[in-house]
Amino acid sequence: MTRARNRELLALIPVALLLTAGFAAVFAQESSKLGNLSVTYGAYFLAICVATHLYLRIRLPNADPYLFPLMAVLTAFGLVMLYRIDESLARNQANWFVFGLILFALTIQFLRDYDVLERYRYIIATVGILLLLAPRLPGIGEQVNGAYLGVKIGPISFQPAEFAKIAIVVFLASYLRENREVLIVGARRVLGVTLPPLKHFGPMLVVWGASMFLLVFIRDLGSSLMFFAAFLALLYVATGRFSFVVIGMLLFLVGAYFIVATVPHVHERVEIWLHPYAEAEGSGYQILQSMFAQADGGLFGKGFGQALLHAPGEPRGIILPAAETDTIYPLIVNELGLFGACGLIATYLLITARGFKIALLARDGFSKLLATGLTAVFAVQVFVIIGGVTRVIPLTGVTLPFVSYGGSSIVANFVLLALLLLISDRARREVETEPESQGRDEPLGAAA
């Protein structure tokens, strides 16, 4: 697999050039900073990425060669945009990037045999649930825009939902891998619809209830949608029954409708989504400004550093609120235009495609489901934030992976990347050394 690793190394060079060009474009707007600083930043970034590549070449020689360069592209893009907003934000994000790579390497080092996760699935699920509940604990929980998303312990502040998503996916992958045959064999058709056996319908109801609980207890629309969408993806891959997915979607819609009608905070979020002009200078200001910023960018954008973020004469002073987190995508559209935004979305789509390809190559059920769940939760997170700022769905506090500012997000997503590469390394190694008919597990969804 030397050729694959060589492709990975070659792909990192244009990533470093992109970072260098991006910083040069930002510096060009400030004549006092013109010089070779952008080249220095590009060299540092390339050195860190090459060091990570060498580690992968030694530890995971068979792993997918495109995932790490693609995520490096997103990270480079995020660093440039954050530097354009605030230098200190970019420096902090760069530090979290390095820390994320360290945790990435440690995950690969100590979870080479990731099957051990199956044996501790209930402990992992418990940890995931506790992480989700942590923001509501008195003394450490933090409330942001009406939602309980953060935890602050002394100088350390993080969003536990970013790590909980991995724990929940590990549990669901392990549980469905063990019980998928029962769900398939015991299924019955009622009025032309395939229904799972009632006694094994519990897991779906539990996950549905957990999603509704998230909406009510921590008021996090984004996480609830993300977890439930990942569960439906895993359920479909495990059983091959599309009717199970339809039932799950209907349950979610019914529950969401009831909660929207009865929970004030969730109702307010939906009202802002449907009628942002009703309070254009109040609660609807952020979503309206994000839409105007995207429209103002046109096809080709205004260029790096050209978007107007602060206006001295504006009563609020801030034209695009939370540009480093919630509305970083509108900022990108404003400066790079629709073409630049399509390039960003295409990168996310390529990562999603590589993740699902890893799931297809995997020979055992747990690996298939784990790769599917990790990829699905990553893709849905992207959809939730981009869909929110484009008014496809209500706006939530979910971060844009690797691009938005936030240490929790970048560290958790590097752990997610490490798990995908571990699965990929095993799958590609088994494909080369073992005939397909001798796989360790039956294909998932064969009963579809």
What are the pLDDT digits (tens) for 299-345?
988 887 777 776 665 545 678 888 888 889 999 999 999 999 999 99
Give Cβ neighbours of residue 413 (< 8 Å, ≥ 6 apart).
Answer: 71, 100, 162, 378, 401, 402
Q: For 21-42, what is the mean pLDDT?
A: 76
Q: Is 337 left (phi over 0), alpha (psi -120 to 50) or beta?
A: left
pLDDT of 109 > 50? The answer is: yes
Number of other CB atoms surrounding residue 133 within 10 Å? 17
User: Would you place residue 157 in the very low, low, confident or very high pLDDT band (cuts 50, 70, 90)?
Assistant: confident
Q: For 51-68, what is the mean pLDDT?
A: 95
Percent of the chain surpassing pLDDT 90: 42
pLDDT of 442 > 50? The answer is: no
Percent of the chain surpassing pLDDT 70: 84
pLDDT at 135: 83
Give me the DSSP letters along 328-339: HHHHHHHHHHHH
pLDDT of 185 > 70? The answer is: no
Give Cβ neighbours of residue 294 (< 8 Å, ≥ 6 apart).
Answer: 330, 333, 334, 341, 389, 390
Tell which wins on pLDDT, 352 or 327.
352
pLDDT of 31 > 70? The answer is: no
- In this structure, of 67-81, 162-176, 393-407, 433-447, the range with the lowest mean pLDDT score is 433-447
pLDDT at 439: 47
Classify burial at 26, counting beta carbons within 10 Å of its beta carbon; exposed 0-12, middle 13-18, buried 19 or more: buried
pLDDT of 1 > 60? The answer is: no
pLDDT of 447 > 50? The answer is: no
pLDDT of 34 > 60? The answer is: no
Query: Whole-model pTM above 0.75?
Result: yes
pLDDT at 61: 92
Helix H or strand E segment including 147: strand 147-153
DSSP 196: -
pLDDT of 294 > 80? The answer is: yes
Mean pLDDT of the chain: 84
Joined tokens for residue 109: 């080092």
- In this structure, of 255-269, 348-362, 390-404, 420-434, the range with the lowest mean pLDDT score is 255-269
| Measured CA distances, 437 to 96, 147, 362, 372, 424 (Å) | 44, 50, 13, 22, 19
